[in-house]
Structure 1
Amino acid sequence: MNELQREYYAFINNMDVRLGAFVLADLPETFDNEDGTTAKFPKDFGPKSLPMLEFFVLSRFSSPDEVIDPENRRFVEGLIRYLGETYLRAIGGAWDHDEETGNGMPFIRPDTEEGPLKGEPIPILAIILAAVDARTAEVFTAVLDKARENLGGDGSPKRNCTGLAMGMLTAENSSEDEVEFLSRFIGTVEPGIAAWTQEQADPSSWAYERESLVRLGKQIKVRYDSRDEMMSEEETPFVAGAMRFIGETIRRIGFGQWRYGADLEADDPRSRQPFIRFIIGDQNLDMVPWRLTQTALEDTDSIAAGLDTVISMREEEAANEEASTKSDSADASGSADQN
């Protein structure tokens, strides 16, 4: 996997947290209209949010050069996520990437009347640059209108919502402290893991897979005799990297989301700790990397066992969904026979 592919998968895998943080922390609650009135800023990924979003972008950037300034990268990535997800909900399509399209950033490959993903790529960063250069506050909507024309008919999407951010952090399911922490922390996960693996024997052998979790559990058991040793200052770099590796491996395989225990009781293992949340059916399953790291002192297989639990619950969920689908099909068939 090359560097562009790694960056793309990181972009997709972190969509819910990064996009949620952008919506909560970077988009304003209200916006001043040209006539002096104040309006609520829409954050619903609807087409009607595009003109106000573009006005806001123009208030942030006076030239395209400011958009590509490294100091503004975090904000611009959040903007790319929001704009792309808005287009996906309105016209259908999917995120994509390649070596040439999108100025090195992920772009949207839209649906058309010819079929899914048949449209010309929509390079989100290029659209933002064009909007800041034109300064008309009409570019974002014009791109959507053109894409809708390519859908044919009344311009309605051919598929249900194709957006990714269904588990996104919102004001209802998170706090300002959690969003603030995750906005900083998420950007340290992959670089922290990369630096950590380089310090290990045979760095290239570490991968986001169960075997590596088993090996890490054995390494922790050999390295430490107690939790106090693990918490010593000189061990902070190793433990911090190990926690990130554990959390990210389980998150990727089990399709989870980084969260942070900002407002929990002190005796809760998640309190003031980053953890991974898995939404399985109608219940939440939380895995705390720091807690899993400690359990390896007693059981070297405990970290991998945490992953096994998630996989088992995912498989059970899939089996239940399949059984439900078959039952619905049987009921529908029975109703048809009676008619």
Structure 2
Amino acid sequence: MTNSTPGQGQASDGGCQDAPLAGHGVFQEWLEAMHPRLAGLADFLLPRDFPFDYSRGSLARLEEILLDTFAERRSVYAVNHRDFLDRCARYIGETLIRNFGGEWRYHTDRDAIFAGVPHLVNDDGTDVPVAPLYLVASLASRRTGHELTSVFDGTAQQYVSHHGKQRVPATAAASPGQLNEPKLNDAEALFLER
């Protein structure tokens, strides 16, 4: 699996994969790599004090980091940023899914919205797709500092409107694999490097 988002190829069956864990090919591989890619984001690419808890606050902090990283919209798509962009898009999507339910989807039909780009549909009653990759490009262009929290808040309002109650969010501890592990402090990291 390469370190880029699946928009650069077609699924092996050449069709539409409009379901979670659908079919074969690049989308399936992308989903299977979710937790290791997120663990790498937490362990190597974000500051040690980043609140990696899939909360609204973590999206606000991530947007600050993204605005510092991307001076303008076109810099988002630079080759040297693909790995970081992919991991951040995953984190944004997983934060929305863990807080509001939903699933990742992927279309290979060129006429579909977000064709060739992983996107999600939350359980908020709207069936409106959200492509985190494009959210990053949008926040780099608009530079308001609150694009991600606005999406979070809007999804929360729609969820309450549709379900009549707030959703109890999943926590980082509810995720499998390395995401359950706490981050090491500097002293612990130095000890393990010996």
Is the TM-score greater than 0.5? yes
Inter-partner Cα distance in structure 2 for 1:82 and 1:156 = 21
Let me know the Cα RMSD of the aligned residues: 2.9
Cα distance in 1 for partners of 2:169, 2:67 equals 32
1:9 aligns with 2:17: no
Match for residue 295 of structure 1? none
1:220-299 to structure 2, matched below 5 A, reads none
Cα 1:171–1:24 shift into 2, 3 Å:
farther
SS state at 1:95 partner: strand
**1:170 Cα offset (Å):** 4.3
User: What one-letter code is carried by the residue in structure 2 that aligns with 1:68?
Assistant: Y
Verify the 8 A CA contact 2:100 2:169 in the aligned structure 1.
no
Look at both structures and tell me which one has the larger radius of gyration over its CA atoms. 1
> Residue in 1 aligned with 2:131?
123
Shift of 1:91: 1.2
Q: Does 1:107 align with 2:119?
A: yes
| 1:145 counterpart letter in structure 2 | D
Distance 2:175 2:29 in 1: 17
- Equivalent residue, structure 1, for 2:146: 138
Take 1:150 and 1:64, find their aligned partners in 2: how far apart are those partners? 28
Name the count of aligned residue pairs: 161
Question: Partner of 2:177 in structure 1?
Answer: 168
- Equivalent residue in structure 2 for 1:47, among 48, 56, 70: 56
Q: Verify the 8 A CA contact 1:50 1:141 in the aligned structure 2.
A: yes
C-alpha displacement at 1:47, in angstroms?
1.1
Give the corresponding residue for 1:27: 46
How has the CA–CA distance of structure 1 residues 70 and 103 changed in structure 2, closer, same or farther, with 3 Å as cutoff? Answer: farther
Deviations 1:316-337 (A, max 9, x none): xxxxxxxxxxxxxxxxxxxxxx
Do the aligned residues in 2 keep the contact of 1:64 with 1:129 (CA within 8 Å)? yes
User: Which runs of at least 4 in structure 1 moved beyond 4 Å after TM superposition?
Assistant: none
Q: Which has the higher helix share?
A: 1
- C-alpha separation in 1, matches of 2:120 and 2:102: 7
The CA deviation at 1:72 is 1.2
State, as a whole percentage, how many aligned pairs show the same letter: 24
- Matching residue's letter, 1:10: E
Q: Which runs of 5+ in 2 are unaligned?
A: 1-12, 18-23, 185-191
Contact 1:93 1:162 in 2 (8 A): no
What residue is the counterpart of 1:90 in the other structure? Answer: 99
> Are the aligned partners of 2:99 and 2:169 in contact in 1 as well (CA < 8 Å)?
no
* Residues 183-202 of structure 1: CA deviation (Å, up to 9, x unaligned): xxxxxxxxxxxxxxxxxxxx
Report the TM-score when normalising by structure 2: 0.72
Which residue identity does 2:72 align to in structure 1?
A: S
- SS for the counterpart of 1:101 is coil
The whole-number CA distance in structure 2 between the counterparts of 1:92 and 1:162 is 12
